[in-house]
Amino acid sequence: MRADTLDRLLITLAVRLHAFAFCEIMQGWRLTFDPMDAVTIHYVLAGSGTLRVGDAPPVDFARHSMMIVPPHQSQSLETGSVERESRAAEHCKILNDGLVTFTAGDGSRDLLVICGTISASYAGAFGLFDHLRGPIVQDLSSEQAIRGAFELLLAEVARPGVGTQALTEALMKQCLILLLRRHLVAGAA
């Protein structure tokens, strides 16, 4: 796809953030998620591990990696040599500020990931990730803008106010564009 065509598509990209959560995973644990109807975005705040999605090969990730998981696929996040497993749906709690936390283990944050479910479409016509077959995992540790956007997104979700939905969706769009830019450049190299 030509760069000018891709630019036009990204200009019309609409992002809806449906849910937002923290995942706390202890060393030696795996946190599993049932298939979801929406695309899942993960951003690693601390630690490193492995992402497993459906039948795709496992993919390693580290701190400041961003991952996109296609809809309708089972997925899991793990760290270290896995000895125990926890289903996200059975180990979640709502914090005082309204955020949801999924926990695998004793609550240790050996791996700390923020997750969101989104829909992303071009001018309402079709979904950006509708035909994605496997996960996209990209190291964004050199992208200060991503770290800043996720910090602001977390702060906004923790203390919502007028315009929270518009701001969080704009921040998520910024993160997706930076991820796609990095992913496309890496694929061209």
Domain ranges of the chain: 3-188
Q: How far apart are CA 179 and CA 47, in angstroms?
A: 20
Say how many C-beta atoms besides its own lie within 10 A of residue 166's C-beta. 9
The predicted-structure confidence for 95-106, as pLDDT tens digits, reads as follows 765 678 899 999
CATH superfamily for domain 3-188: Jelly Rolls (2.60.120.10)
Phi-psi map region of 123: left, alpha, beta (phi>0 left; psi -120 to 50 alpha): left
Confidence of residue 27 (pLDDT cuts 50, 70, 90): very high
Say how many C-beta atoms besides its own lie within 10 A of residue 82's C-beta. 15
Query: Which strand (E) or helix (H) includes residue 166?
Result: helix 164-188
Phi-psi map region of 107: left, alpha, beta (phi>0 left; psi -120 to 50 alpha): left
Which of 173, 153, 157 lies closest to 39 in space, CA to CA?
Answer: 173
The predicted-structure confidence for 116-174, as pLDDT tens digits, reads as follows 888 877 666 667 777 788 999 999 999 898 889 888 888 887 777 888 888 888 888 88
| 180: its two tokens | 């796609």
Is residue 23 exposed (0-12), middle (13-18) or buried (19+ Cβ within 10 Å)?
A: buried
Is the pTM higher than 0.85?
yes
45 three-class SS: strand
Identify the residue with better confidence: 91 or 76.
76
